[in-house]
Structure 1
Amino acid sequence: MSLSPPATLTPLSAEVVLGKTPSLKEPVLLDGALYWLEQRPHEQGRTTLMGRAAQGQEPRECTPGDWNLRCRVHEYGGGPCAIGRRANGEAVAVFVHDADRCLWRLDLDQPGAEPQRLLTPQGKRFEGALGGGLIDRQRDRWIGVLERDGQDHLVALPLAGGELVELHQAADFCGYPALSPNGARLTWVEWQQPAMPWDCSSLWLADVQASGQLGPGRRVAGSTPEDPKAISVFQPNWAGRDLVVANDRSGFWNLERWSAAEQDALETPRWQPLLHEQAEFAMPQWVFGMSTHAWDGERLLALACRQGRWELGELKDQSWRPLEQPCSDLAGLCAQAGQLACIASSPTHPSGLLELDLKTGSWRHQPAAPCPIAQEAISQPQELWFDGHGGQATQAWYYPPTGGGHSEAPLLVKSHSGPTAMARTGLNLAIQFWTSRGWGVVDVNYGGSTGFGRAYRERLNGQWGVVDVADCAAAAQALIEQGQAHPKRVAIEGGSAGGFTTLAALCFSDCFSAGASRYGVADLSALAEDTHRFEARYLDGLVGPWPEQRALYAARSPLNHAERMSCPVIFFQGLEDVVVPPEQTERMAEALRNKGIPVEVRLFPEEGHGFRKGSTQIEVLEATEAFFRAHFAL
């Protein structure tokens, strides 16, 4: 069960790091067959469906050519493909094709079959966004989410084709539907502005009537904005006839079960905590298709995050039994009939498919691409705890440069996106790109990050641009004081929310000597007034109610404080970005130029919020390194 030894390459080139390594997502087991999505940066970011009939067989591409599986619900998407069996027993995939935004059916039992368009033609492109669905075998249909005209709907579509049928209109947002094994009940998650789903959300349950329509729905877990205590739920799942969900009412996303025997008997659901752990069994619901627990037909399996590290285990008799396997960064869990699969990596092995036989305990890890660097040359993450904002214990992962850290080494501080994301421990070749060139890298889990409980996430409430900035600066200072970095050779970089933290850190701290912002927020007021529906009220929690707190937005916006910035900055911006419009980057860069600060701007006409093309990603990494090297005289 050993992982194959990688080849050596020092220093790493950007082409090797980013050029052709696909990103694997959302594995599904179906009666011994394994399917997964593969996003390919060398094919302009196209996502295709891959499949393998049985373990040991060669995988095949199920959607070759120009098919591009992509969901655009809530802009961030996820869950573009549902896999299951039809009423006649045939295996089927239903996916959203990005070219026309329509649903297509692919018959998986017929190799070489062409996808069939399911929606009645309505022109070149479907008006609205579809995704996050499942296969309803009993009624031979797809059930999923439709976002249209500022509203979310649960809808159904016959697998033989036809028109969408509305099942339920959410009060605001909805997603993550799960159908009971007998098809009699449907559960889903809803949330309402100004809350984000990881702040306050509720679990709904309804009977499926003989007509296929839903009976009256009722809230059975979680909370609404009117409730005195905010609770978030994640990924409803059926364990046989019982209902399981992750619920953070204890302060951590722990798993709870609602017994089938009580589902009809009790007016108020009685949820039984399956564990009382200071660990997270969930993650922030930015996209559809996420999975951290699964029922294989006999046992409940889960992923748990403790202090920034993920582990895999089985829940039984209110106890946690870790399963032996080599990885500490895990996502996308699926299981069926004693088999388990997920996307996994470790500090020394790249991301790939991890498969585990629950009966024998044997595992197999197949990376998406061979590791291009010898294991002995890999800089492994070292846990760093330091006093962050307000003296609170804060965590980061420090990667020393090749040969070890020293007082003359340059340091790159990474501020992750979200800002609810987390710095993870899986092998990140982009980090190794820097360490192989003599840089130390510190990936900061600043206050607001996921993986450490609700209280850690809520440190950022009303404090975006304050707590995150202080924590990133404190992480750098801790390493400088340890003799691991030169105080005048500290750079910071980040994308999206991390780009805002980067720009704010360059304005409001004196720790950094250069910065790189990828589609970063420069003007909070403009973001509050001009962003997409999903995040339209996000800043109410991160900064304050808009527009009542307009003065606070102005005070936190880097664009309004360009005079406080004194170090060079490089910007990267997609011209199709609807989350952070390009105008924000252009205004920020112009303000710095007017002050005489060295600025470089790279614009990408066919990119949006988050770069998908391999050529773009390579250019960003190479340009950032060249920019820092020139201004640090390295």
Structure 2
Amino acid sequence: MTTAPYGAWASPLDARTVAARDGRPAWVGFVGDDVWWTEPRPGEGGRRALIRRRPDGVEESVLPAPWRVRSRVVEYGSRPWTGTVTERGPLVVFSSSADQRLYAYEPDSGAAPRPLTPRSAAAGGLRWADPVLRPESGEVWCVLEEFAEERPTDPRRVIAAVPLDGSAAERRESVRELSDDRHRFLTGPRISPDGRRVAWLAWEDPVTSGAGTLAMVAEITAKGEFADIRPLAGDLGPGHPGGGAQGESIAQVEWATDGSLLCVSDRDGWWEPMRLDPDAADGGKAGGRALCPGRQEEFGGPLRTIGQRWLVPLENGTLAVLHGRGPKTLGILDPVSGEVVDSAGPWTDWAATLAAHGTRVIGVAAGPRGTYDIVELDTCTGRSRTIAARHTAVLDRAYHPSPQARTFTGPGGRVIHAHIHPPRHPEHAAPEGELPPYVVWAPSGPAEHAPPALDLEIAYFTSRGFGVAAVDHGGPTDHDREYRERQRGRPGMADVEDCAAVARALADEGSADRDRLAIRGGGAGGWVAAASLTSTDLYACGVLRHPVLDLAARATGGDHDLESRHPESPAGPPADVPDRSPAHRTDRITAPFLLLHGADDAVCPPARCERFLAGVSGRGIPHACLVFPGEGHGFRFADTRIRALEAELALYAETFGIARGDVPVLALHT
């Protein structure tokens, strides 16, 4: 055992290894008996590859580089593909990241993908997401997001039918609009087993807020049009026509095999599975029945991206569900008895993507000793197994973080949940009496949680002698409607307070060095980190990754549609909310910081970062800013991730007075 100061330990885990294995699989599905999903490839220009796994276990990347399968609907990325089997083999329809057009592809034919939708006069002005194939009618139905050049922050969204014969590739007029555009946000359609009805979700406020939602239903006519469109359940909440005092958020709708409509609703305070009668005359409220009442767990979550699934019906009438307080577990729900039987295995968190075929259920899951992989549950045998693991073991388990799930007390006595990752190295120990530096990771957005899963970024720091405190926004006992409502009128300030409470508690109990505390966050978490630097002198430094910096400007300054609406939901109208934005409080910053953002970020525009830096410049505050060409919101390129991680470590080393020779020196300006 070598004695060395905390933060100065030598680690076998370098930034290149972390970057190469960053991200997780997503958007699982079946095409016949084959399992398909999308997968990040940081080393291939950050593209999202479409992967196919045959029943014999053979995997292949279906589309070669530079094809990237990603939809930019609501900017965060929504379900980009669907597939079915025809007499010629698999038929897949996907959204291409490069031009946002829909393409049809038959991988067994040898032909190249062919476009189904037209190019837009505005870059990415036509976008498509959450597609559903209807080969019997020669169409694919999906969400269409259409931007007008004169109003780039105010798109139309409708459910549209795109011909599979390619006739709309040059003619926008060949796309049939099935719904109207009265609602600001929509999910893709869910078609009943008999093909006579369709359901979808519609709402007005940002998808991440958990605000009120409507479950819409319509009849499908013989011509393939929507008729008798009506809301079956849900409530848009205050401020919207017909909205109630509280609102009802529905996270998902899905048809059961018996023709009833399943939904995940927070009508009773928690997102729970319910069965609705589509023929109910009262909008479904009296006809709705909770399938497992009283569990006080979440079976859903806010629609951060369109196409998420926490529930899928199985052929025998049971349901595969994701549920829990904070991290999710895969279980099988008997809708008659209300019992839920959980699958066995080492997985402690499941992502909101599920698919079923026969007795097989697939999802994306991770555990404390492994990152997110494709997992299959055989409901006949009860056996779960990893069937596709892109992440191979790259680090001896002795270096893995050893997280401690803990609770802390925040303002007003509220409970704060966090995963505490102390420094860990099998061959290093700190000098007696030394306390470790700690980095507080702010939650990245509404209802986000810190999963108890292996995170190589955390291991990068803990194996070097830094502690990491990952604060949980969607805490295991507070992640319900009451918890979400506590943010209203206080945009992100509850998270600022929670992070500070955790940091102070770790210092007070002697687990962390009070003089070597840092805060770090990305996106909405970047706002928390920046607001923390402007509201307290608790932290010695901070790292702001593609941060939100100006709440008021988002409503008027040309941000994309989803973000421009954020102030109206968690904070009320901008005029009614005191401006706590870091961009307007730069005179209060006294600690060094590192700002990282993408040059093409439409969610948190670079102009906001430039104004923030202008407010700090010349005040003697050491800071650095790295701008990454070609990157949007969140970093996808391996080289970007390497540079960002090494720069973060360099900031901590410089601020805390730690000698490290394994990363480039960070040039700090004042």
TM-score greater than 0.5 by the shorter chain:
yes
Alignment pair present for 1:136 and 2:123: no
Check the 8 A contact 2:326/2:474 in 1, yes or no. no
Following superposition, the deviation at residue 364 of structure 1 comes to: 1.7
Q: Which residue of 1 aligns with 2:300?
A: 282
Check the 8 A contact 2:546/2:604 in 1, yes or no. yes
Alignment pair present for 1:309 and 2:307: no
Instruction: Indicate how the Cα distance of structure 1 residues 197 and 144 shifts in structure 2: closer, same or farther if over 3 A, else same.
Output: farther
Paired with 1:207 and 1:407, the residues of 2 have a C-alpha distance of: 69
- Name which of 156, 173, 176 aligns with 1:165: 176
Following superposition, the deviation at residue 451 of structure 1 comes to: 7.3
The aligned length equals: 616
Instruction: Indicate how the Cα distance of structure 1 residues 512 and 11 shifts in structure 2: closer, same or farther if over 3 A, else same.
Output: farther
Alignment pair present for 1:367 and 2:393: no
Unaligned runs of 5+ in 2: 1-9, 148-154, 168-173, 659-670
Instruction: Indicate how the Cα distance of structure 1 residues 67 and 395 shifts in structure 2: closer, same or farther if over 3 A, else same.
Output: same
Instruction: Indicate how the Cα distance of structure 1 residues 245 and 438 shifts in structure 2: closer, same or farther if over 3 A, else same.
Output: same
Paired with 1:26 and 1:481, the residues of 2 have a C-alpha distance of: 43
Paired with 1:76 and 1:626, the residues of 2 have a C-alpha distance of: 29
Cα deviation digits, residues 144-177 of structure 1 (max 9, x gap): 0111132111000122222211101231221132
Cα deviation digits, residues 451-492 of structure 1 (max 9, x gap): 721111222111124211110010111212222110011100
Following superposition, the deviation at residue 541 of structure 1 comes to: 2.7
Instruction: Indicate how the Cα distance of structure 1 residues 505 and 201 shifts in structure 2: closer, same or farther if over 3 A, else same.
Output: same
Q: Secondary structure at the match of 1:309?
A: coil
Counting only pairs closer than 5 Å after superposition, residues 83-162 of structure 1 correspond to structure 2 as: 83-85=83-85, 90-108=89-107, 110=108, 112-119=110-117, 127-149=125-147, 150-162=155-167
Q: Secondary structure at the match of 2:25?
A: strand
Q: Which residue of 2 aligns with 1:227?
A: 244
Check the 8 A contact 1:191/1:197 in 2, yes or no. no
Q: Which residue of 1 aligns with 2:65?
A: 65
Q: Which residue of 2 aligns with 1:296?
A: 314
Counting only pairs closer than 5 Å after superposition, residues 236-247 of structure 1 correspond to structure 2 as: 236-240=253-257, 241-247=259-265
Paired with 2:450 and 2:376, the residues of 1 have a C-alpha distance of: 24
Alignment pair present for 1:561 and 2:585: yes
Following superposition, the deviation at residue 534 of structure 1 comes to: 1.5
Runs of 4+ in structure 1 deviating by more than 6 angstroms, as ranges, are: 121-126, 447-451
Q: Which residue of 2 aligns with 1:6?
A: none
Q: Normalising by the residue count of structure 2, what TM-score does the alignment of the two structures yield?
A: 0.88
Following superposition, the deviation at residue 425 of structure 1 comes to: 1.6
Q: Secondary structure at the match of 2:98?
A: coil
Following superposition, the deviation at residue 289 of structure 1 comes to: 2.7
Counting only pairs closer than 5 Å after superposition, residues 316-335 of structure 1 correspond to structure 2 as: 316=334, 317-331=337-351, 332-335=353-356
Check the 8 A contact 2:233/2:283 in 1, yes or no. no
Instruction: Indicate how the Cα distance of structure 1 residues 21 and 588 shifts in structure 2: closer, same or farther if over 3 A, else same.
Output: closer
Q: Secondary structure at the match of 1:529?
A: coil
- Name which of 373, 378, 384 aligns with 2:406: 384
Check the 8 A contact 2:417/2:475 in 1, yes or no. no
Q: Secondary structure at the match of 1:547?
A: helix
Following superposition, the deviation at residue 528 of structure 1 comes to: 2.6
Following superposition, the deviation at residue 447 of structure 1 comes to: 7.0
Unaligned runs of 5+ in 1: 1-8
Q: Secondary structure at the match of 1:542?
A: coil
Q: Which residue of 1 aligns with 2:567?
A: 539
- Name which of 603, 624, 636 aligns with 1:579: 603
Cα deviation digits, residues 395-429 of structure 1 (max 9, x gap): 11111111599861010100122233221122111
Alignment pair present for 1:179 and 2:191: yes
Instruction: Indicate how the Cα distance of structure 1 residues 534 and 148 shifts in structure 2: closer, same or farther if over 3 A, else same.
Output: same
Q: Which residue of 2 aligns with 1:215?
A: 227
Cα deviation digits, residues 497-526 of structure 1 (max 9, x gap): 111100111111222110000121222222
Check the 8 A contact 2:207/2:304 in 1, yes or no. no
Check the 8 A contact 1:328/1:425 in 2, yes or no. yes
Paired with 1:219 and 1:604, the residues of 2 have a C-alpha distance of: 44
Check the 8 A contact 1:232/1:248 in 2, yes or no. yes
Q: Secondary structure at the match of 1:609?
A: coil
Check the 8 A contact 2:119/2:126 in 1, yes or no. no
Cα deviation digits, residues 67-105 of structure 1 (max 9, x gap): 11121111122111112245x685311011122221111
Q: Which residue of 2 aligns with 1:336?
A: 357
Q: Normalising by the residue count of structure 1, what TM-score does the alignment of the two structures yield?
A: 0.92
Task: Report percent identity of matched pairs.
Answer: 31
Following superposition, the deviation at residue 367 of structure 1 comes to: 2.3
Q: Secondary structure at the match of 1:49?
A: strand
Instruction: Indicate how the Cα distance of structure 1 residues 92 and 69 shifts in structure 2: closer, same or farther if over 3 A, else same.
Output: same
Greater displacement, 444-453 / 183-192: 444-453
Paired with 1:16 and 1:539, the residues of 2 have a C-alpha distance of: 38
Q: Secondary structure at the match of 1:607?
A: coil
Paired with 1:383 and 1:400, the residues of 2 have a C-alpha distance of: 12
Alignment pair present for 1:471 and 2:498: yes
Q: Which residue of 2 aligns with 1:457?
A: 484
Following superposition, the deviation at residue 111 of structure 1 comes to: 5.5
Instruction: Indicate how the Cα distance of structure 1 residues 176 and 166 shifts in structure 2: closer, same or farther if over 3 A, else same.
Output: closer
Check the 8 A contact 2:314/2:320 in 1, yes or no. no
Q: Which residue of 1 aligns with 2:24?
A: 23
